[in-house]
């Protein structure tokens, strides 16, 4: 049984656009659109006034100009946003070191351990909002909940300048009316598939019988059902997590081809699992990290029942997370990472039963590790590489 947690999600409102307004008060009341200004450019973000014209992130810039000719169109000043972002994260980390960076303007915090200092979880939420406003002039939205998914949905629900707490016992009611497309794991493809069951809200998914859903989505149906009940045990992953083994790779140019990305992910998985075996460690939580060309970063984790260091077992989870959670878009991928946490020393857990398939995989892993350390990395590769 996992201990009760309190997670906070902080997301800045119309981040790039509001920074531009702070830096230039003359445009404070105008519709401001930030993005690539060339004919092929896309909108990074639009302020809330500009959103009333129907402009939103990822829209072609030419269309945005057509919708709002009187708008203020500005280029992306990445360095400046990073500077402001650092200030914001310094504030967040002064509350707890357990801060996960999702992107320049978005973070998860595990505040479970510091709640003793406050009257309620809302109190640090309010203080953080004030401090960010005082130091940067910017507003943000804060969501608080028993897990990451609920916290994020809670901050989205009350945008802009919101502060919403959803307690464990309130989550069922809270989720009921939320658009199913806001739920983790429901992208365009999945939405198309489940529309036939008239699933438009998370509540609809809660009610949809599992067998029907399984027929359409296979085993993913279990995961989505679990999420619809508001369950999510993914940990807040800090950058300096020592209790994990991970590997990352940055590309010289942004990658968009899913096949290539998968191949890279498999290579990372092999490295990480091999390092686990070298350290005689096994882990239960597998995390995939994807940073896009615009520095938005996303991590997704999945926890399996029994700790492992077997490449095939870890790859199964990585592959699953990539297939179900990542929606390719025009931004491309700059960095990939694979990590394993929730570590323990090998063989600590009593083997209640022996899985013959896992035994075979372990044997194969040992063989490959031996050959690679004898003849050099990459001597032996699994078929997956091809």
Binding site for ligand TTP (CB under 6 A): 11-16, 44-45, 57-58, 103, 105-106, 159-160, 294, 296
Q: 3-class SS at 257?
A: coil
Nearest-approach distance from CB 216 to ligand TTP, in angstroms:
28
11 or 294, CB closer to Mg ion?
11
140 or 224, CB closer to ligand TTP?
140
Nearest-approach distance from CB 12 to Mg ion, in angstroms:
5
| Alpha-carbon dihedral angle through residues 47, 50, 54, 56, given to the nearest 10 degrees | -30
* Binding partner of residue 44 among Mg ion, ligand TTP, none, CB cut-off 5 to 8 Å per kind: ligand TTP
Lookup: tokens for 296: 């938005």
Q: Which residues, in sequence order, are bridge partners of residue 291?
A: 297, 335
Q: 3-class SS at 286?
A: strand
5 or 152, CB closer to ligand TTP?
152
Nearest-approach distance from CB 294 to ligand TTP, in angstroms:
4
Nearest-approach distance from CB 158 to Mg ion, in angstroms:
13
* Binding partner of residue 270 among ligand TTP, Mg ion, none, CB cut-off 5 to 8 Å per kind: none
Residue 194 found at the interface with Mg ion (CB under 5 A):
no
DSSP 335-349: EEEEEEEEEEETT-S
Nearest-approach distance from CB 334 to Mg ion, in angstroms:
19
Number of residues that bind Mg ion (CB under 5 A): 4
Of the candidates 100, 106, 270, 325, the residue annotated as catalytic is 106
Place of tokens 């203020």: 72
For residue 290, the surrounding DSSP H or E stretch is strand 281-292
143 or 339, CB closer to Mg ion?
143
HSE at residue 57, side-chain half, CA atoms within 13 A, is: 13
Q: Where does the chain have alpha helices with state H?
A: 15-23, 48-51, 61-67, 78-93, 122-136, 148-157, 171-176, 188-194, 202-207, 210-217, 220-228, 258-278, 311-325, 356-375
Nearest-approach distance from CB 45 to ligand TTP, in angstroms:
3
- C-alpha to C-alpha distance for 351 and 20, rounded to whole angstroms: 58
Lookup: tokens for 358: 């896992």
- Decide: residue 271, CB within 10 A, 0-12 exposed, 13-18 middle, 19+ buried: middle
- C-alpha to C-alpha distance for 179 and 279, rounded to whole angstroms: 45
Which residues in the 5-44 window bind Mg ion by CB under 5 A?
A: 11-12, 15
- Decide: residue 382, CB within 10 A, 0-12 exposed, 13-18 middle, 19+ buried: middle
Residue 105 found at the interface with Mg ion (CB under 5 A):
yes
Q: 174, 285, 156: which is closest to 229 by C-alpha?
A: 174
Residue nearest to Mg ion (CB): 11
* Binding partner of residue 57 among ligand TTP, Mg ion, none, CB cut-off 5 to 8 Å per kind: ligand TTP
Q: Do you know the residue count of the chain? A: 386
45 or 201, CB closer to Mg ion?
45
Is 106 in the active site? yes
Nearest-approach distance from CB 21 to ligand TTP, in angstroms:
12
* CA–CA–CA angle 230, 191, 107 (5° rounding): 50
103 or 372, CB closer to ligand TTP?
103
Phi, psi of 109 (to 5 degrees): -130, 135
Cβ(290)–Cβ(298) under 8 Å? Answer: yes
Q: Using omega within 30 degrees of 0 as the cis cutoff, is the peptide bond preceding 116 cis?
A: no
100 or 312, CB closer to ligand TTP?
100
Catalytic residues: 106
Q: State the residues that interact with Mg ion by CB under 5 A.
A: 11-12, 15, 105
């Amino acid at each position: 049984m996992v201990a009760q947690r309190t997670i906070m999600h902080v997301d800045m409102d119309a981040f790039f656009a509001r920074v531009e307004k702070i830096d230039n008060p003359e445009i404070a009341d105008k519709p401001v659109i930030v993005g690539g200004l060339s004919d092929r450019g896309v909108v990074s973000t639009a302020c809330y006034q500009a959103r009333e014209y129907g402009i939103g992130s990822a829209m072609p810039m030419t269309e945005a100009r057509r919708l709002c000719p009187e708008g203020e169109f500005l280029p992306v000043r990445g360095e400046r946003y990073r500077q402001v972002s650092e200030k914001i994260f310094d504030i967040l980390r002064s509350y707890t070191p357990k801060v996960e960076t999702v992107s320049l303007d978005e973070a998860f915090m595990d505040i479970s351990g510091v709640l003793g200092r406050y009257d309620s979880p809302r109190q640090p939420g309010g203080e953080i909002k004030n401090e960010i406003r005082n130091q940067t002039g910017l507003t943000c939205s804060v969501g608080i909940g028993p897990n990451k998914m609920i916290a994020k949905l809670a901050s989205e629900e009350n945008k802009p300048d919101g502060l919403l707490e959803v307690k464990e016992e309130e989550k069922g009611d809270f989720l009921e009316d939320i658009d199913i497309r806001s739920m983790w794991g429901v992208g365009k493809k999945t939405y198309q598939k489940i529309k036939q069951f008239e699933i438009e809200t998370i509540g609809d998914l809660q009610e949809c019988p599992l067998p029907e859903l399984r027929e359409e989505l296979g085993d993913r149906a279990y995961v989505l059902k679990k999420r619809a009940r508001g369950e999510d045990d993914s940990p807040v992953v800090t950058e300096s997590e020592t209790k994990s083994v991970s590997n990352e790779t940055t590309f010289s140019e942004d990658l968009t081809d899913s096949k290539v990305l998968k191949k890279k992910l498999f290579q990372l998985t092999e490295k990480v699992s091999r390092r686990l075996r070298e350290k005689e460690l096994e882990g239960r939580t597998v995390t995939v990290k994807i940073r896009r060309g615009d520095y938005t970063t996303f991590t997704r984790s999945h926890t399996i029942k029994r700790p492992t260091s077997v490449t095939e077992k870890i790859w199964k989870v990585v592959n699953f997370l990539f297939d179900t959670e990542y929606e390719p878009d025009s931004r491309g991928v700059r960095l990939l990472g694979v990590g394993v946490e929730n570590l323990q020393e090998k063989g600590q857990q009593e083997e209640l039963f022996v899985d013959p398939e896992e035994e075979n995989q372990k044997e194969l892993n040992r063989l490959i590790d031996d050959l690679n350390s004898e003849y050099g990395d990459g001597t032996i590769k699994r078929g997956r590489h091809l």
